[in-house]
């Protein structure tokens, strides 16, 4: 009888631990995406492992993906695959805003994220009646924050159809459905919008996926009204990065491999590329520099959560609740987090090099003449 009681007690405790891990601790942003809901985007369960292997094979030497036209053309498809693989995990473990932000004293990560997003609206001078473009909107966390803060309508574009569905669901839940927040599936290298159709535009840690930044900036320039502003937070290496340092090289390659990047750009390249696209550069600033507090703190503090989540993912995979291959994707993201942390601590990498750009007012007359 005593043995049976002990076995029953152990079973109850075990069930309680599973419940705590998966349902209580396994949700993002107040009952958001749960571990038991990991679907790997639009990829069918039986293809997750294969898609991960194909992705890893393509990005194992990141800079080679943009060296030829043939390989560069494949980048958008593999970025789409990447976001099919990671979107649910990002939402589960990170939230609805897939980007970093400087830590704020006495404030939560969610608060810091929102302040970082609202800064964009303030830089753009966004207000009610404006129609803004979110270039690479993910599941729409920044879009909803900026729409709520500014009163502007926001149109987001993402290459991933699964993210479109998630963003629209979040928009409805937040009471910010169309026309306040619209989401379009498309490639920001060739956007399905008319010329001069937006009052402002922004990209938050998204254009790093482009093989050529010139192509994205050129498209944003095209769809922006003359005299209007564009803000971008860019992932770049800083002047502290030294290509002859093996540790620096491995750190940067680790960031590129684990984030579907066809090679990080240098900080000093961004303004020149913007000017090449036709923009005026009004301001350029690394928002990660002091007095800003470390943006990578959240990654370091999240190591216990990564360990916990790893156990949850393995158990769910073993029980066939999560598809085979999820564990490998989660492990890839954990390793990438270590490289990101090292990049932040050494100062060789920043995910928030901010540029404030303007399409010249004179572009209006030029465009009219072209017609």
State pLDDT tens for residues 254-269: 999 999 999 999 999 9
Token pair listed for 48: 């997750």
pLDDT of residue 38: 78
pLDDT of residue 204: 98
More confident residue, 130 or 56: 130
Mean pLDDT to the nearest integer, 95-111: 92
Mean pLDDT to the nearest integer, 278-287: 98
Mean pLDDT to the nearest integer, 349-369: 84
pLDDT of residue 30: 42
HEC-encoded secondary structure of 204-225: ECCHHHCCCHHHHHHHHHHHEE
Report whether pLDDT(136) > 90: yes
What are 156-179's pLDDT values in tens digits? 999 999 999 999 999 999 999 989
Top-confidence range, 179-188, 303-312, 358-367: 179-188
What residues contact residue 230 under an 8 Å CB cut-off, 6+ apart? Answer: 200, 201, 202, 203, 220, 221, 224, 279, 356, 357, 358, 359
pLDDT of residue 365: 57
Report whether pLDDT(39) > 90: no
Instruction: Write down the H helix ranges in 320-362.
Output: 326-346
Report whether pLDDT(155) > 70: yes
Indicate whether this model's pTM tops 0.85.
yes
Report whether pLDDT(141) > 70: yes
Instruction: Name the architecture of domain 35-359.
Output: 3-Layer(aba) Sandwich (3.40)
Inter-axis angle of helices 303-318 and 326-346, nearest 10: 170
Q: Is 63 helix (H, G, I), strand (E, B) or coil?
A: helix
pLDDT of residue 27: 47
pLDDT-based confidence at residue 298 (cuts at 50, 70, 90): confident
Q: Return d(Cα 186, Cα 232) in angstroms, integer.
A: 19
The secondary structure of residue 279, as a DSSP letter, is -
pLDDT-based confidence at residue 31 (cuts at 50, 70, 90): very low
Of 207, 303, 309, 221, whose CA–CA distance to 260 is shortest? 207
More confident residue, 317 or 23: 317
Token pair listed for 76: 């958008």
| Cis peptide bond prior to 80, omega within 30° of 0 | no
Q: Return d(Cα 324, Cα 116) in angstroms, integer.
A: 36
Report whether pLDDT(21) > 60: no
pLDDT of residue 17: 57
Mean pLDDT to the nearest integer, 14-42: 59
Mean pLDDT to the nearest integer, 341-363: 95
């Amino acid at each position: 009888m005593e043995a049976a009681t002990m076995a029953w007690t152990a079973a109850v405790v075990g069930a309680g631990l599973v419940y705590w891990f998966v349902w209580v601790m396994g949700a993002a942003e107040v009952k958001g995406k749960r571990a038991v809901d990991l679907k790997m985007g639009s990829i069918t369960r039986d293809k997750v492992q294969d898609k991960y292997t194909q992705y890893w094979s393509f990005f194992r030497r990141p800079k080679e993906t943009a060296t030829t036209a043939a390989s560069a053309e494949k980048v958008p498809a593999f970025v789409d695959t990447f976001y099919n693989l990671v979107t649910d995990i990002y939402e589960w473990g990170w939230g609805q805003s897939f980007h970093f932000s400087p830590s704020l004293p006495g404030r939560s990560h969610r608060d810091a994220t929102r302040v970082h997003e609202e800064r964009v609206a303030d830089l753009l001078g966004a207000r009610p009646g404006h129609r803004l473009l979110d270039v690479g909107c993910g599941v729409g966390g920044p879009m909803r924050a900026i729409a709520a803060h500014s009163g502007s309508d926001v149109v987001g574009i993402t290459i991933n159809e699964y993210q479109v569905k998630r963003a629209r669901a979040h928009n409805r839940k937040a009471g910010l459905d169309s026309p306040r927040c619209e989401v379009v599936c498309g490639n920001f290298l060739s956007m399905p919008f008319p010329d001069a159709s937006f009052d402002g535009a922004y990209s938050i840690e998204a254009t790093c996926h482009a093989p050529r930044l010139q192509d994205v900036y050129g498209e944003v320039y095209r769809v922006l009204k003359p005299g209007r502003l564009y803000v971008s937070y860019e992932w770049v290496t800083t002047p502290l990065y030294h290509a002859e340092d093996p540790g620096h090289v491995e750190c940067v390659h680790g960031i590129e491999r684990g984030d579907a990047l066809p090679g990080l750009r240098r900080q000093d390249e961004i303004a020149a590329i913007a000017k090449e696209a036709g923009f005026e550069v009004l301001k350029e600033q690394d928002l990660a520099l002091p007095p800003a507090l470390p943006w990578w703190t959240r990654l370091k503090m999240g190591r216990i959560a990564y360990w916990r989540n790893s156990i949850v993912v393995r158990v769910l995979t073993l029980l066939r609740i999560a598809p085979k291959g999820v564990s490998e994707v989660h492990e890839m993201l954990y390793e990438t987090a270590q490289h990101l942390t090292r990049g932040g601590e050494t100062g060789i990498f920043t995910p928030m090099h901010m540029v404030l750009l303007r399409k010249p007012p004179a572009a209006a007359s030029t465009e009219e003449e072209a017609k």
